Structure 1
């Protein structure tokens, strides 16, 4: 949401601020690789950008009652930086795997330029931006599969995706939004959410009632 609106305006209009932040630059962003559920750290430039965003929110007077991130450290570190700048490290926080990035399946870790060379620009674009298109699925014996990731060991194995399209990402995110986040908004809580490009695309698509087109 628009961070140019200050806290006084929110109080005057009675609107509840819910701020959605896409994580800052990760190491794989810099290397132009498909990331998905892989867990590279932020770059130094990414950490600096996250602190700058937190400073901007502080200047605008934002105060939050709780914060959310995915379990992936690029989103977690972004949230850490935001809350540090806001001076709000003590608010309740939740790390939810349901807010993880879209799962890219067999594209995970591949250089995007190399993927275009092998599969063609049009196909890669459909995988990245199509609503129903998905890449190949990872097998459960592939070391890149989330079933081998300690971050996911408490998740019911059938719930772990092998690959996702945007429609499936939207369904995953919206189930969590409706069950966990929406009730807090209705109670008037002010929330900060640090997540991912496709997660937030899917969420905004649903909340704004956008068509597939």
Structure 2
């Protein structure tokens, strides 16, 4: 992004540490540490419910690869919700960063489909991010795989079926240029070495496969 001369006016992140730290690293690398950063839980990663704490291979071993693929990639299928017996329940719902959210703690999701991610993201996008873009500002959104996929689905008009095949590898900038009606003026670009990008996409896609152990 620095090599291509991008200059940001505003940065939007989730309230999760990896999103915020990614924004810091980007701004530092580009010499734009002074650019304002705005945080919102509505850009958070998807809530995986009772699957939280399991990596993709562990999910596949416990539930089967097909069911996990359905939970992970389908647009409107929600995984099993988290409940009070889950080892991460108190850590999540007693986290003080949620005391400043525009939603009561008791109304925070217990699990989300990609559709539900888009449902909670869109009000923030429309009310906070869109006005900045319409005012001519160049913005950076530092979010997560699923919140970014949900946003791309909305902006690019990707169908409920086709969104399952959209993979965004970690740490690869996605460039999307929008017209005055917030419609893409050309296909999205993944910035960087294209061979490395394809290898990163393949790595993400293979993470959902259960590892087999010979006996």
TM-score w.r.t. the length of structure 1 is 0.70
Question: What do you get for the CA RMSD once the two structures are aligned?
Answer: 1.4
- DSSP 3-state at the match of 1:67: strand
Quote the Cα distance in structure 1 between the aligned partners of 2:10 and 2:58.
41
The correspondence of residues 1-213 of structure 1 with structure 2, limited to 5 A, is 57-140=1-84, 142-145=86-89, 146-155=92-101, 156-213=104-161
Alignment gaps of 5+ in structure 2: 162-215
Matched residue count:
157
Please say if residues 166 and 202 of structure 1, whose CA atoms lie closer than 8 Å, have aligned partners that are also in contact: yes
Please say if residues 115 and 124 of structure 1, whose CA atoms lie closer than 8 Å, have aligned partners that are also in contact: yes
TM-score w.r.t. the length of structure 2 is 0.70
Deviations 1:150-174 (A, max 9, x none): 2212231243110000100011111
- DSSP 3-state at the match of 2:2: helix
Alignment gaps of 5+ in structure 1: 1-56
Quote the Cα distance in structure 1 between the aligned partners of 2:84 and 2:131.
35
Q: Which ranges of 4 or more aligned residues in structure 1 deviate by more than 6 Å? A: none
- 1:136, CA displacement in angstroms? 1.1
Quote the Cα distance in structure 1 between the aligned partners of 2:67 and 2:73.
10
- 1:69, CA displacement in angstroms? 0.8
